[in-house]
């Protein structure tokens, strides 16, 4: 068990901010998920997690912090947080020691002027309640977070029921840490989760969405979803997915997403499954149609881009995938689903995840075959100049030209298409 934290793992600007606070006479510590992740990497050689920022907590009040540093931003000053800008303009959060004096399960009123021990006591889980001395690297771990890291346990700080009453989003955070880290949830913590699982309605939909996407970035996204189901929160957040069974969760874990169009975004671990694509696959497995899936993710405030992708993947999965030979079938399918083609193959039935189809899709893309009207070698202006009347008739001609080019890509030359357009318009 590590007793001294490797301070060289902390960025120099963060260490410099902590040093300034200490020089001004204020007790200061490093805290947060980045501390947890470095300690976890020490216990699991080869583990590489996408760490967030190292947070700083101090006895200095927000007003004092703003007098010590020239460039600050009051990002959450009512909760004691001030962002200090380094020389490169990057923000680093500095938060005053605090404790909760009032909470409604979503927002808290805090009191400053407390000790580091009281500050750590208000945190959610023991693995997140470890502080690092900026001068020596010594660890302050009053709740046994290092032992829980070593044992692979998610355990609430103090009374688990009280921690979740203070902020019910912690229920989803516990499930996320268990899924992403591969940890077990301690029994009393689990019991408190299941007891309060039905009280999530007042949470911000954006915060719930973020926890969902972070949980599905686990190596086994089906396992993360199964955990939500066992805890009783899956049906609360996604009634459309409430009837998924263990078999479907297993199928989600078996997805081969290595060739999908989109890599996991910033909410996930490097190399992790794409959580938006996993969400689409879950709706498909639950028998949810494309419009209902789009409405569901809109309810949870997915971006328009991600919502459109979920709808497109669910819609495409409802139709059979094309045979890779002849290639014209692949071109016609790509004309409808090009943006999500590899996504659809990745989440299809195992028998449809065909290397030959992936190769055919890539071959069509590499050949640069025209798959849309804008990729034809002629435009509406070209047809007009060639004597084709504007209006609906011209649109019909362009669509017919595209259909023939999908059948035979070699026809996509200006001369051939103009000749054929004159024939069709006649």
Domain map (residue ranges) of the chain:
1-151, 319-367, 373-425
Long-range contacts of 140-148 (CB under 8 A, 24+ apart): 140/29, 140/116, 142/117, 145/36, 146/1, 146/2, 146/39, 147/1, 148/186
Q: What is the pLDDT of residue 106?
A: 54
| Cβ pair 413, 377 in contact under 8 A | yes
Query: Domain spanning 1-151 has what CATH number?
Result: 3.30.460.10
- pLDDT per residue as tens digits for the range 26-80: 999 999 889 999 999 888 766 655 556 789 999 999 999 999 999 999 887 778 8
Per-residue pLDDT tens digits for 278-291: 999 999 999 999 99
Q: What is the largest CA-CA distance in the chain?
A: 89
Q: Which has the minimum average pLDDT: 54-68, 81-95, 106-120, 270-284?
A: 106-120
Task: With beta carbons less than 8 A apart as the criterion, state whether 342 and 333 touch.
Answer: no
User: What does the pLDDT average to over 323-348?
Assistant: 76
Q: In 10 A of CB 409, how many CB atoms?
A: 17
Summarize the confidence of residues 230-249 as an average pLDDT.
93
Pairwise pLDDT comparison (98 vs 103), residue with the higher score? 98
Most confident segment among 3-7, 139-143, 339-343, 373-377 = 139-143
- Buried b / exposed e over 71-105, threshold 16 CB at 10 Å, is ebeeeebebbbbbbbbeeeeebbbbbbbeeeeeeb
User: Is residue 249 within 8 Å of residue 193, measured between CB atoms?
Assistant: no
Residue-level pLDDT at 262: 47
**Alpha-carbon distance values, 279 to 30, 140, 211, 380 (Å):** 35, 39, 13, 40
Cis peptide before 326 (omega within 30 of 0): yes
CA distances from 419 to 382, 410, 414 (A): 11, 14, 9
Q: Is residue 160 pLDDT above 90, yes or no?
A: yes
């Amino acid at each position: 068990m590590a007793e001294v934290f490797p301070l060289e793992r902390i960025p120099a600007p963060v260490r410099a901010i902590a040093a300034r606070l200490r020089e001004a006479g204020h007790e200061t510590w490093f805290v947060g998920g980045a501390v947890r992740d470095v300690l976890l990497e020490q216990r699991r050689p080869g583990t590489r997690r996408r760490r967030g920022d190292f947070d700083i907590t101090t006895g200095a009040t927000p007003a004092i912090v703003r007098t010590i540093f020239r460039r600050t931003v009051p990002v959450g000053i009512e909760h004691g947080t001030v962002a200090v800008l380094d020389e490169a303009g990057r923000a680093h959060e500095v938060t005053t020691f605090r404790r909760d004096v009032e909470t409604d399960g979503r927002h808290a009123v805090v009191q400053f002027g407390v000790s580091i021990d009281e500050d750590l006591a208000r945190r959610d889980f023991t693995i997140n309640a470890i502080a690092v001395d900026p001068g020596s690297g010594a660890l302050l771990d009053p709740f046994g977070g290092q032992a829980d890291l070593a044992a692979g346990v998610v355990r609430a700080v103090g009374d688990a029921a009280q921690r979740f009453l203070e902020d019910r989003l912690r229920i989803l955070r516990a499930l996320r840490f268990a899924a992403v880290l591969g940890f077990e949830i301690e029994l009393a913590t689990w019991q408190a989760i299941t007891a309060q699982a039905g009280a999530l309605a007042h949470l911000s939909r954006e915060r719930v969405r973020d926890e969902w996407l972070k949980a599905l970035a686990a190596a086994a996204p089906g396992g993360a979803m199964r955990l939500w189901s066992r805890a009783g929160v899956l049906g609360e957040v996604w009634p459309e997915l409430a009837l998924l069974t263990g078999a479907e969760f297993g199928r989600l874990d078996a997805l081969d997403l290595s060739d999908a169009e989109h890599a996991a975004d910033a909410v996930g671990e490097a190399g992790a499954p794409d959580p938006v694509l996993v969400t689409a696959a879950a709706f498909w497995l639950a028998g949810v149609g494309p419009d209902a899936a789009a409405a569901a993710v809109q309810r949870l405030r997915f971006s328009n881009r991600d919502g459109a992708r979920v709808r497109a993947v669910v819609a495409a999965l409802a139709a059979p995938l094309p045979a890779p030979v002849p290639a014209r079938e692949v071109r016609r399918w790509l004309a409808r689903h090009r943006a999500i083609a590899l996504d659809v193959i990745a989440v299809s039935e195992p028998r449809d995840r065909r290397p030959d189809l992936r190769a055919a899709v890539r071959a069509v893309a590499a050949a640069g075959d025209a798959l849309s009207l804008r990729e034809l070698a002629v435009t509406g202006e070209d047809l007009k100049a060639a004597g084709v009347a504007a209006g609906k008739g011209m649109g019909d001609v362009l669509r017919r030209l595209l259909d023939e080019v999908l059948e035979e890509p070699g026809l996509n030359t200006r001369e051939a298409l103009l000749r054929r357009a004159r024939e069709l318009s006649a």
